[in-house]
Amino acid sequence: MMRSAAATLGVVTTTTAGLGVVITVETPALARADVCAEAGADVPLPVEIGPCADVLAQEARWLKAITGGDVATVDQILGPNFKHVNADGQFFDRSSEVAGTERLPFTMNPSDQKVDIAGDSAVIHGVNTLIQDGTVKARERFTDVFVLQNGEWLALSAQETSL
């Protein structure tokens, strides 16, 4: 079995060859964190399972929805009091964020992610590389805050700073 992550497409492609048959399955890629810890206690948490994996999966789903112009998914991920300050210093509340969702000509590729979990809250710090037509368009450091409600991680706040 061969497995390759295609972050710009937001999928993991798994190819199995055997008995003259090649099967390719694409599943959503989970952006991996470099570090995940219980906030305050500074106790490392596993990245592959549990709350860290869950919040990172929601982060990856959100980035894919943003660039794909998927208004319904963005609407589903944002908490009721969501706030966003972009790299240009513009402020968006939940309604303006959802209303401004449209297909974008670039992909967002997270890296250097550090996750802190504090009970039902999670903070992800990382770097997003925006790629368009194979060229790096921008790099932004980001902080995203999530809250766990009814078993689902909802985005509470987002902020980017240009690098």
Per-residue pLDDT tens digits for 95-154: 999 999 999 999 999 999 999 999 999 999 999 999 999 999 999 999 999 999 999 999
CATH number at residue 87: 3.10.450.50
Whether residues 88 and 114 share a domain: the answer is: yes
Q: How far apart are CA 75 and CA 154, in angstroms?
A: 10
Q: Check residue 92 and give its pLDDT.
A: 98
Q: Check residue 32 and give its pLDDT.
A: 59
Whether residues 11 and 39 share a domain: the answer is: no
Whether residues 89 and 26 share a domain: the answer is: no
**Nearest residue to 8 (alpha-carbon basis) of 112, 140, 107:** 107
Q: What H or E segment, with its residue span, contains residue 103?
A: none
Whether residues 8 and 43 share a domain: the answer is: no
2 vs 22: which has the higher pLDDT? 22
Q: Check residue 94 and give its pLDDT.
A: 98
Q: Do 35 and 123 form a contact (C-beta atoms < 8 A)?
A: no
Whether residues 21 and 35 share a domain: the answer is: no
Per-residue model confidence as pLDDT tens digits over 33-83 = 678 889 877 788 888 889 999 999 999 999 999 999 999 999 999 999 999
Q: What is the DSSP letter of 31?
A: P
Tally of domains in the chain: 2
Whether residues 157 and 83 share a domain: the answer is: yes
- What residues make up the domain containing 84? 31-162
Q: Check residue 20 and give its pLDDT.
A: 53
What is the pLDDT averaged over residues 20-31?
42
Whether residues 66 and 138 share a domain: the answer is: yes
Whether residues 118 and 58 share a domain: the answer is: yes
Whether residues 52 and 118 share a domain: the answer is: yes
Whether residues 132 and 109 share a domain: the answer is: yes
pLDDT at 31 over 70: no
Whether residues 3 and 78 share a domain: the answer is: no
Whether residues 13 and 76 share a domain: the answer is: no
The β-bridge partners of 22 are: 17
